[in-house]
Structure 1
Amino acid sequence: MRNKHKLLIEQLDSKLAEFRGAATVTIPEKGWIHTIRTALNMTMDQLGTKLNKTKGAVQKIEEREATGQITIHKLQKVGKALNMKLVYGFVPEDETIENLINIQAEKLARKIVLRTHQTMTLEDQGISDKKINASITDLANEIKREMRKSLWD
């Protein structure tokens, strides 16, 4: 990986470290806004007053959130009205971004090496499994070093 990318990945992994192991959060069926509002025993009218919106507008906001059609900006506004902050982000499923890159680089390298090996085998020039694995490792390291855009194809 180029130094710039490597540094960026390390910084990002460091920032995301506190979220690793966090439980997956299931969104309530009616959405967070409705769930929190009702838990606070707040009416739509009361939330509407805080947002400078009508009861009907609050209902639409709740419906949009429940169906995933709400903007982050709107969620932030509602959060502020509820005296809460919006927490938003992505956490890699494979522990770190570096691991994600390693897995993708290995997949791409394996695809390239095995495709080449197949052609060579047809021409009766196949190589051993040990050499195939070494080639995959070498190519994966090269792909990571160069941070090829093809990594995500």
Structure 2
Amino acid sequence: MKNNKQYLLLQQTDKKLEAFKDLKATVVPAKGWVNTFRTALKMSLRQLGNRLNIAPQSTKEIEEREANGTITLNSLRDVANAMDMQLVYGFVSKHESLEQMIGKRAKELATEIVMRTNNTMTLEDQQNSKERIEKAIAQKTNEIKSEMPKYLWD
């Protein structure tokens, strides 16, 4: 990577993601976390509502919004505080690291670029060998990873 500052930021962010890796396998309860914790604490809708200064029906609506994915982080934070808990959220990468994610995307782009050029050359009866194409893709991938151009995520 040409930009040391960008590389350092990438490394630091990857380090922060490490804390969430074990959570990848966590399954969200069907009724949501609010309902699960409230039930585990043997807290009624009325009791949680009182702690939130809202009606029991509004508490039920919060649980429903969480279960269907339309709740806000502020609402979740309020509920967590009312249950003497802390809301923590983050992202879990589908890859081993952000560098791996960038590498995958760079290879996709490089393949697209090289194959576009190769198709033009094929039409002109100047087709490259498979080895040459693979080498060109690898070189273009490294170039894209190094420069991290703005079009990387287009």
TM-score class, shorter = over 0.9
Aligned to 1:49: 50
Q: Give the CA RMSD over aligned residues.
A: 1.3
Aligned to 1:25: 26
Cα distance between partner residues in 2 of 1:114 and 1:38: 57
* TM-score normalised by length of structure 2: 0.93
Taking structure 1 as reference, are residues 49 and 21 closer, same or farther at Cα in structure 2, changes over 3 Å only? closer
- Deviations for 1:26-59, whole angstroms, at most 9, x for unmatched residues? 2212111111101111011111111111111111
Cα distance between partner residues in 2 of 1:39 and 1:22: 20
- Deviations for 1:92-131, whole angstroms, at most 9, x for unmatched residues? 1111011000000001101110111111011011222222
Detail structure 1 runs of 4+ shifted over 3 Å in the superposition.
none
| Aligned-partner residue type, residue 32 of structure 2 | G
Aligned to 2:95: 94
Cα distance between partner residues in 1 of 2:153 and 2:43: 46
Cα distance between partner residues in 2 of 1:23 and 1:93: 9
Cα distance between partner residues in 1 of 2:88 and 2:33: 12
Aligned to 1:107: 108
> Among the aligned pairs, what percent are the same residue?
48
| Aligned-partner residue type, residue 76 of structure 1 | R
1:82 aligns with 2:73: no
Equivalenced residue count is: 153
* TM-score normalised by length of structure 1: 0.93
| Aligned-partner residue type, residue 70 of structure 1 | I
Instruction: Report matched runs for 1:50-65 at 5 Å.
Output: 50-65=51-66
Unaligned runs of 5+ in 1: none
Taking structure 1 as reference, are residues 144 and 24 closer, same or farther at Cα in structure 2, changes over 3 Å only? same
Cα distance between partner residues in 1 of 2:59 and 2:133: 60
* Other structure's SS at 1:22 match: helix
- Asked whether the 8 Å contact 2:24–2:92 carries over to 1, the reply is no
Larger RCO (CA within 8 A; separation ≥ 6): 1
* Other structure's SS at 2:23 match: coil
Aligned to 1:145: 146
| Aligned-partner residue type, residue 71 of structure 1 | T
Offset at residue 87 of structure 1 (A): 2.1
